[in-house]
């Protein structure tokens, strides 16, 4: 057996994975399933190149974690071999619990958030590998005595965010989202087991947060992608209310039949969960293009043919919508009523003051929170966006 496996990544070039537990996890069906789940859901309706998968992202985050661990070792941070491998495993599996179209299904047919399902799947993998993931699970759950490992996975500046911003900007072509991930990694250090960045990286951090804000405005919360997500959500809710699941896959039917959180048994739903992906949802949409139900038919054909709802956006609340027009002849009356007065408020925060802050180390070794730098406080301000659904 080869000692290493090399993946040719379009963003970073060659990514090397050693033989052993890491490669075994990548080859496991749980992980291979991520190839069938798009990283950006329905954003390809706006950016045709945005068809990369959660599999790509997980490998990329693993690559950046490896870079960070190697760099910290060069800076004199003591990292034992078992800690090194556990951190690699934890970041590799950090998104393994994502379902089809990720966050859309969390609000419709899935019982819990993907982070909780990730934890359950990691426990299952730990059992099947004889406990080889125990330390990785501690790190993932922030229960390990050296918190900087968890901070490299989940914090306000972690390898997860470094990869998805780099990767998503690459595949969407949104150049404003490009960040200096390599410089940020070189500026990382550890003080009292906490992850910090050197002060000379201050403007790189500013660029990182600015790019994150731009990516939210231009990609993650693009009105066309949000319209498609709203339609998919509405489609699944309508299908679920009909309780007619003929022709669906056994696993997808399992989720559509459940109506509340208490109707779930992890030991029962996990085998079904790992069998569903984006393909199941697209098949469901294609099957319902000619449904006898006009709502299902309209939504399914709209999504498959890219005839999407419109969305109005404002930075302040909408007034009462007395100007709503009657539905056009091609909009089912029931669907129009379901969409009328649908307004959503999204808060965009590139930097969260309520979360543990990015700590910056000056030349005099003094630690200072990022938000304490006056020139950077504009990045701590929240942006409000209000969206109004306009069916067509």
CA nearest neighbour of 94 among 86, 105, 103: 86
Q: Taking the alpha carbons of 26, 30, 33, 37 in that order, is the dihedral positive or negative? A: negative
Whole-angstrom distance, CA of residue 353 vs CA of residue 227: 30
Please, what is the end-to-end C-alpha distance for the chain in angstroms? 57
Whole-angstrom distance, CA of residue 315 vs CA of residue 338: 24
Entry pTM: 0.94
What is the reported pLDDT for 128? 95
Q: What percentage of the chain has pLDDT greater than the value 90?
A: 70
- At 125-150, the pLDDT tens digits run 999 999 999 999 999 999 999 999 99
Query: Hey, what domains does the chain have and what are their CATH numbers?
Result: 4-209 (1.10.3210.10)
Span 161-173, average pLDDT? 98
């Amino acid at each position: 057996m080869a000692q290493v496996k090399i993946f040719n990544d379009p963003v970073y070039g060659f990514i090397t994975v050693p033989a052993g537990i890491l490669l075994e996890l990548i080859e496991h069906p749980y992980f291979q399933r991520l190839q069938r789940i798009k990283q950006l859901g329905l954003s390809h309706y706006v950016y045709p190149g945005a068809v990369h998968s959660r599999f790509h992202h997980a490998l990329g985050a693993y690559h950046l974690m490896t870079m960070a661990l190697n760099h910290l070792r060069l800076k004199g941070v003591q990292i034992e071999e078992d800690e090194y491998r556990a951190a690699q495993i934890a970041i590799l599996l950090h998104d393994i619990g994502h379902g089809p179209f990720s966050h859309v299904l969390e609000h419709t047919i899935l019982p819990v958030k993907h982070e909780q399902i990730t934890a359950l799947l990691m426990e299952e993998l730990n059992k099947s590998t004889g406990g080889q993931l125990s330390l990785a699970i501690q790190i993932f759950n922030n229960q390990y005595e050296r918190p900087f490992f968890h901070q490299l996975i989940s914090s306000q500046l972690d390898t997860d965010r470094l990869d998805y911003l780099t990767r998503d900007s690459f595949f969407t072509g949104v150049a404003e989202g490009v960040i200096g991930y390599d410089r940020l990694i070189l500026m990382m250090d550890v003080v009292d087991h906490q992850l910090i960045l050197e002060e000379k990286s201050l403007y790189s951090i500013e660029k990182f947060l600015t790019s994150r804000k731009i990516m939210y405005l231009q990609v993650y919360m693009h009105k066309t992608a949000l319209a498609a997500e709203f339609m998919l959500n509405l489609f699944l809710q309508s299908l679920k209310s009909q309780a007619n699941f003929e022709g669906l896959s056994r696993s997808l039917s399992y989720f559509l039949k459940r109506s509340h959180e208490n109707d779930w048994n992890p030991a029962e739903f996990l085998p079904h969960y790992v069998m569903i992906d984006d393909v199941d949802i697209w098949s469901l949409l294609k099957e319902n293009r000619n449904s006898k139900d006009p709502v299902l038919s309209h939504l399914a054909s709209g999504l498959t043919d890219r005839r999407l709802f419109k969305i109005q956006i404002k930075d302040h609340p909408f007034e009462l919508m007395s100007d709503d027009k009657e539905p056009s002849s091609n909009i089912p009356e029931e669907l129009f009523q379901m969409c009328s007065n649908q307004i959503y408020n999204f808060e965009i925060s590139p930097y969260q003051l309520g979360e543990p802050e990015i700590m910056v180390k000056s030349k005099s070794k003094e630690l200072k929170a990022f938000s304490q730098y006056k020139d950077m406080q504009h990045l701590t301000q929240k942006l409000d966006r209000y969206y109004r659904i306009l069916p067509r």
